[in-house]
């Protein structure tokens, strides 16, 4: 497994032709799927039927990002679909460790996400229960937003935590990731990168390769 993972966000894809769009990103490590319920965030995207359909395409592993209320109830149900990974927001959860356990019981990786304003200290004691930590680098809800460099100290805290504990947790970033910003996130400790517009607006295969190379170079420079 590479130490750099590129996961295009299909929020930036052509919703009318997902099979073709998945073919365009075939060299990616996974497809990032944003599920929004218009409650936790002010946007509505797709629900369980659409995720089931995407899973049935069997093109790439699906990395679900649940921007929804009541993940205690819903996250395990999404995991039941056979997806690769399910990430929910700490801010919406009642019992985060229990949700993680229930996700893993379905065979999926368990991830937890933090909004830009949520401090690392709020998840630190629970992080051992998770396979992935998503540091949002924009406010969740809409694609195409500008990267927030002020979230990088939180990413460094997570990297230091992982080093201290010998943890293999994946550190994911999502929001405004492009060739201009991926180096900053890689140097701060990210190893898993969600990019939407940067990938789909041009030639996806070339852009995925470019992002992977830049992230790898900056990660090696940081070590």
Catalytic residues: 34, 174
Distance CA 85, CA 75 (A): 10
Read off φ and ψ for residue 38, nearest 5 degrees. Answer: 65, 15
| β-sheet bridge partners, residue 87 | 65, 111
Cβ(69)–Cβ(39) below 8 Å: yes
Burial 97-123 (b: 16+ CB within 10 A, else e): bebbebbbebebbbbbbbbeebebeeb
What are the CB-based long-range contacts (under 8 Å, 24+) for 14-21?
A: 18/53, 18/54, 18/57, 19/57, 19/59, 21/200
Residues 6+ apart with CB under 8 A from 189: 155, 156, 158, 159, 162, 171, 222
């Amino acid at each position: 497994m590479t130490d750099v993972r590129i996961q295009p966000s299909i929020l930036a894809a052509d919703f009318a032709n997902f099979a073709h769009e998945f073919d365009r990103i075939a060299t990616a490590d996974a497809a990032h799927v944003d599920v929004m319920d218009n409650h936790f965030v002010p946007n509505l995207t797709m629900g369980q039927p659409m995720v089931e359909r995407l899973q049935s395409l069997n093109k790439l592993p699906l990395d679900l990002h649940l921007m929804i209320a009541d993940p205690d109830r819903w996250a395990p149900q999404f995991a039941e679909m056979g997806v690769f990974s399910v990430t929910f927001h700490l801010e919406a959860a009642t019992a985060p460790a229990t949700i993680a356990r229930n996700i893993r019981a379905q065979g999926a990786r368990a991830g937890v996400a933090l909004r830009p304003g949520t401090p690392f200290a709020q998840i630190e004691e629970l992080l051992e229960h998770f396979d992935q930590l998503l540091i949002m680098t924009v406010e969740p809800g809409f694609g195409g937003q500008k990267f927030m460099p002020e979230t990088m100290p939180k990413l460094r805290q997570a990297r230091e935590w992982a080093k201290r504990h010998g943890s293999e947790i994946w550190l994911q970033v999502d929001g405004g990731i492009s060739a201009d910003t991926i180096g900053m996130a890689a140097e701060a400790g990210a190893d898993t990168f969600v990019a939407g517009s940067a990938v789909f607006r041009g030639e996806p295969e070339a852009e995925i390769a470019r992002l992977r190379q830049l992230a790898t170079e900056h990660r090696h420079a940081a070590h």
